Chains A and B, each alone.
Chain A
């Protein structure tokens, strides 16, 4: 079974702090994604990566950066956390290199990190 793990389930930070969210997948997947999930808005893509050291902006990249130094690990960085970044953050991965999701591939999600910024 594919396993996607995230470093923390719950995290509380203060405004202005630098925050690192880590995601690791164990199935040699090419693509990795970071989403945030807010009530009534669904999941929104922040950034994704299709290869080591490669990154692409998603729909809401402002205020975030990412790092992918190893294939299995994809980090989301909040350079200076703000209260509007309080959210559930979900990491996902797919085997395929095709766009974001081929018709035969599926995304495997991590358990999520609920971040609160005070």
Chain B
């Protein structure tokens, strides 16, 4: 079993839909990170959180430490949101990346 799992693996949505991507982990963590990778490879940081909830524009990230689960929500999705979304957790001395969720938003 992977230490960090994401669901769904692939997601296709219509423009304007509300999207949720889930991340579950099995290790104790000090921080969780959501990353976005656009076609072509470049990765950018979206959120880093260790508790509660963070919001930036149409993106919302939540984390439940007790349940070892985090969600990334995208409201009013747009084709430019099409990307791979990666969850990463920081264990004591290393970072473990999830396999990613590939999102495609259709106009």
Contact in complex: B99, A41 (CB < 8 Å): yes
How many CB-defined contacts (below 8 Å) exist between A and B? 59
- Assuming A42-B4, A42-B98, A45-B94, is B41 touching A103 (CB within 8 A)? no
Residue A82 interfacial (CB < 8 Å): no
| Whole-angstrom CA separation of A72 from B86 in the bound complex | 26
Contact in complex: B42, A42 (CB < 8 Å): no
Contact in complex: B99, A40 (CB < 8 Å): yes
Chain A residues with a Cβ closer than 8 Å to the other chain, count: 25
Query: Separation in Å of the B3 CB from the closest CB of chain A?
Result: 10
Where the two chains meet, the residues of A that have a C-beta atom closer than 8 Å to any C-beta of B are 9, 40-45, 59, 88, 90, 92, 99-104, 106-112, 114
Excluding A103-B30, A111-B42, A112-B41, 15 further A-B contacts by CB distance (< 8 Å) are A42-B97, A42-B99, A45-B95, A59-B94, A88-B41, A92-B43, A99-B93, A100-B94, A101-B33, A101-B90, A103-B48, A108-B45, A109-B42, A112-B42, A112-B43
